[in-house]
Structure 1
Amino acid sequence: MDQRISFVTLAVRDLDRTRAFYVDGLGWEAALDVADEVLMIQVGEHVVLSLWVDEQFEAEVGPIVRGAGVAPITLAHNVPTREDVDAVLATARAAGAEPVHDAVERDWGGYTGYFGDPDGYRWEIAYNPGPIGQVVLP
C-alpha cells in the first residue's frame, strides 16, 4: 500500500452552510458539488476534502458519534510565515468561522492558531519552521 492519503471525508449537518463557508467565504473552488449530498474540494495535488451531508455519510460508513465537545480530529493548513498565519485566520473570521483562536508561539518553535468550520471541525493554521513543516509547503 502506498504511503499517502487521497481523501479526507467529513460529515456535515448543513451542506449549504458548508458551501457558503468554504467556497464563498474562503474562496475555495468546488471540484464536485452535488446538492443535498456532497461537496468535494481538491486541496492538494492528489488530495480531496470530501464534505458529505451527515445522513449520506452515515448511510455509507455507519452511525456518527454525537455529543458535546470537539471532534477528535484537526485539519492543518501550513503556511510559510507567521504573518500568513494571521492573514488566514483573519480570512476565516471574515468567512464566519467560529471560534477563532488567535495564533500564539508554541513551545516547539512554531506559531499556530485555530478556527472552527460550520460543523465545528478545527483547522490549525500553522507556521512550522522545522524540517517536517517544510515538507508540507507547496
Structure 2
Amino acid sequence: MTPQRITLVTLGVNNLERAKNFYSALGWTPAPSEAGSIVFYQLNGLVLGLFGLKELAKDQDRPAAELGTGAMTLALNMPDRKAVDTAYQRGLDAGAAPIKAPHEVFWGGYSGYYADLDGHVWEIAHNPYWPLNEDGSLTLPDHA
C-alpha cells in the first residue's frame, strides 16, 4: 500500500535566486542545507522545494517546455479574514500577480488567488469550517 501523504512539493522556477527572494519577501526562511540548484523550506510536516526549471526537466528526462505549472493550486489557510488580506497583500508586495482579490465565497469562506513569479497559483483562504491546529497545520474535521 502506498502511504496517503505528501512529503515534498517541488516547484520548477525559471530563476532560482528571484524565486528565493520572492519567498523571502513573504517572510519564509530557507533551510540552511540548500544545494546549488534547489532551495528547501521546512513547512508543517512537509517540505517545499524550489528547483531550477531546466534542472527539474533534466531530472525528469523531459523537455522543460513540457513541464509548465500544471492545473493545480497551492493553498495557504489562514486563521481569519484579516490574516488572508494581510498575506495576500504581502504576496502582491513581493511581486505576485493578482488573480482574484480576497472575497466571500459561495461555500462560506473567504479567499483570493495570486500567482508567484513563475506562475504557480496560490490560494490564500480562511475556511471557518476547518479550524487550524495551534501550529497552523490543518486536520480535516470528521464531518468534512
TM-score relative to the length of structure 2? 0.82
Q: Distance in 2 between matches of 1:62 and 1:114?
A: 31
Is the contact made by 1:112 and 1:126 (CA closer than 8 Å) also made in structure 2?
yes
Partner SS for 1:18: helix
Gaps of 5+ in 1: none
Deviation of the 1:95 alpha carbon: 1.0
Q: Distance in 2 between matches of 1:118 and 1:62?
A: 24
| Alpha-carbon distance between aligned partners in 2 of 1:6 and 1:56, rounded to the nearest angstrom | 20
1:134 shift after superposition: 2.3
Runs of at least 4 residues off by over 4 Å: none
1:16 equivalent in alignment to 2:44: no
**Residue deviations 1:8-57 (CA, integer Å, cap 9, x gap):** 0111110011011002x11101013233x11111121x200011101111
For 1:82 and 1:89, the matched residues in 2 are separated by 10
C-alpha deviation, 1:93, in angstroms: 1.2
**What secondary structure is seen at the aligned counterpart in 1 of 2:95?**
coil
How far did 1:66 drift? 5.6
2:87 is matched with 88
Q: Which residue of 2 aligns with 1:28?
A: 28
Q: Distance in 2 between matches of 1:99 and 1:107?
A: 20
Kindly state the Cα deviation for residue 2 of structure 1 after the two structures are TM-superposed: 2.6
| CA–CA separation in structure 1 for the residues paired with 2:29 and 2:113 | 22
| RMSD of Structure 2 on Structure 1 (CA) | 1.8
More strand by share: 1
What is the number of equivalent residue pairs in this alignment? 131
Output the CA distance in 1 between the equivalents of 2:132 and 2:23: 25
Report the Cα offset of residue 94 of structure 1: 1.2
Structure 1 residue aligned with 2:101? 102
Q: Which residue of 1 aligns with 2:140?
A: none
Decide whether the 8 Å contact of 1:78 with 1:128 is kept in 2: yes
Identity, % of aligned positions: 37
Alignment of 1:1-138 (within 5 A): 1-23=2-24, 25-31=25-31, 32-35=33-36, 37-44=37-44, 46-63=45-62, 64=64, 65=66, 71-130=70-129, 133-134=130-131, 137-138=136-137
Once the 2 structures are TM-superposed, how far is the Cα of residue 100 of structure 1 from its aligned partner?
Answer: 4.7
Instruction: Give the gaps of 5 or more residues in structure 2.
Output: 138-144
